[in-house]
Structure 1
Amino acid sequence: MPEPIPDAAIAAIVAAGRRMDRHNWVPATAGNFSVRLPAGRIAVTRSGVHKGFLAPEHVMVVDGEGRPEDPALRPSAETLLHCGIYRRFPEARAVLHGHSVANTVLSLHAGGEILLSGYELLKAFPGLPTHEATVAVPVVPNDQDIARMQQGLDARWDSLARSGTAIPPGYLIRGHGVYVWAETMDGALARLEALEFMLECALQDLQRRD
């Protein structure tokens, strides 16, 4: 019999959905969230559910390869991207995926990255005690083959690691949305809100220049 999902993990996921819904970052059934559990298990949102109205039964468990503990339940389609983050970044304990207007529009206009410089909220990223910095947020191609997309991400992280470049705890999928992660759900939410604020500023600047 599988271990039950800890109440704290369910509560964190449900609260994240409501908080992101208030910002209109998870329209319709968009978005997915997860929390790392002990023994290689991952609590993740089920597919096809509006994230602003999550209930405990909308959270399920998969293993590190995205396989459901209960085969009758279907996890979010992009669960493998959560698994990829947890494999790559041992410190990650929570992952959030949202779809804001700003991250979607900017990702369509960007090349392989979006540069954010001079914003006070850059301090939400690790290792940046001051706003006097630049963060390059990766923008990766969208792909309906999630396993292939994850392979591309792994290759990109490998390239950054070889060059000695710090890997930011977030990325955008072109025309699709954003992923962020942190050591806690509260940390992931704070990081997401900081990133979305900076992306909204960048979008408004782009619109003024056009």
Structure 2
Amino acid sequence: MDTKKFDIPADKAEALVEVVRFIGGQNWSPATGGNYSLRLDNFHCLITQSSKDKRNLQTSDLMVCNFNNQALDPTLKPSAETALHTKLYQLDSEIGCVLHTHSVPATVLSRSVSEQVRIHGFEMQKALYGNTSHTETVCVSVFDNNQDIPALAKEVERKWQQGNINQPGLLVRGHGLYAWGRDVFEARRHVEGFEFLFSCLWQERLAGGMLL
């Protein structure tokens, strides 16, 4: 199927572009890094093309891929990490949007722990779906960055099925955050929540505060 023949709702494309520009403006996606997608149906997603400036993204910088990670328009190049997006969509039919950032706090925190970043005592935890109290502990899983995205997607699937991913986000070591939501607006809230929390944790560590 050619991308041009795929009915892409204009409002969805514009909503994704708006949130990606916001993220780029926060310097959470520098040097054309990061990748962003939303579900179109149970077989396809809209995703950013490779090497696009996220601060000035246009709807023409988006493309359609199927869940076999194939571009519907073979002249366009999808993100190298498309397989992780599509794996998340297949793991949970409620996921409608996946946002992958490259912020400094998320990147350095992912290098400072073994398997999880533990968050406790912050009001902003309630920005994350399913969390209702600052007294609970939020555990964000961390995965090694081995540059083999299909293998990483399989490892995410394994931990997901074991029940080890119970937050709307995960970290890839030395790489950044993947956060998701039922739609682009919830996914954006989760990105903002995680990035605030990661920044707080890193500032605490710099100040010699509580350990992770």
TM-score range, shorter chain: over 0.9
What residue in structure 2 maps to residue 191 of structure 1? 190
How far apart, in 1, do the equivalents of 2:182 and 2:170 lie? Answer: 16
Say yes or no: does 1:95 pair with 2:98: yes
1:127 Cα deviation from its structure 2 partner: 2.1
Q: Among the aligned pairs, what percent are the same residue?
A: 35
Inter-partner Cα distance in structure 1 for 2:13 and 2:130: 30
**Do the aligned partners of 2:33 and 2:102 also contact (CA within 8 Å) in 1?**
yes
The 1-side partners of 2:121 and 2:207 are apart by 18
Report runs of 4+ in structure 1 exceeding 4 Å deviation.
none
Query: Matches of residues 27-176 of structure 1 in structure 2 within 5 Å?
Result: 27-160=30-163, 167-176=166-175
SS at match of 2:98: strand
Letter in 1 for 2:32: T
Give per-residue Cα distances to partners, 1:60-81, cap 9 Å, x unaligned: 0001111111111111110111
Q: Distance in 2 between matches of 1:33 and 1:98?
A: 9
The residue type paired with residue 18 of structure 1 is R
Contact 1:61 1:69 in 2 (8 A): yes
SS of the aligned residue for 2:111 comes to helix
Match in the other structure for 2:176: 177
Count of matched residue positions in the alignment of Structure 1 and Structure 2? 206
How far residue 153 of structure 1 moved from its aligned partner, in angstroms, is: 0.9
Residue of structure 2 equivalent to 1:23: 26
Q: TM-score, normalised by structure 1?
A: 0.94
Aligned-residue CA RMSD (Å): 1.3
Matched, 1:9 2:12: yes
CA shift digits 1:183-202 (9 cap, x unpaired):
11111111110111010000
Equivalent residue letter for 1:101? V
Deviation at 1:57, TM superposition (A): 1.2
Could you list the runs of 5+ residues in structure 1 that have no partner in the other structure? none
CA deviations over 1:35-84 (Å, ceiling 9, x no partner): 10025210000001111111121000001111111111111110111001
User: Quick check: 1:9–1:43 contact (8 Å CA) kept in 2?
Assistant: no
Distance 1:179 1:166 in 2: 12
Give the TM-score of the pair, scaled to structure 2. 0.93
- Give the whole-Å Cα distance in 2 for the aligned partners of 1:156 and 1:7: 35
Which one-letter code corresponds to 2:15 in the other structure? Answer: A
The amino acid that maps onto 1:187 is E
Q: Would you tell me which structure has more helix in proportion to its own residues?
A: 1
Shift, 1:156, TM fit = 1.1
Q: How far did 1:4 drift?
A: 3.2
Structure 2: runs of 5+ lacking an equivalent: none
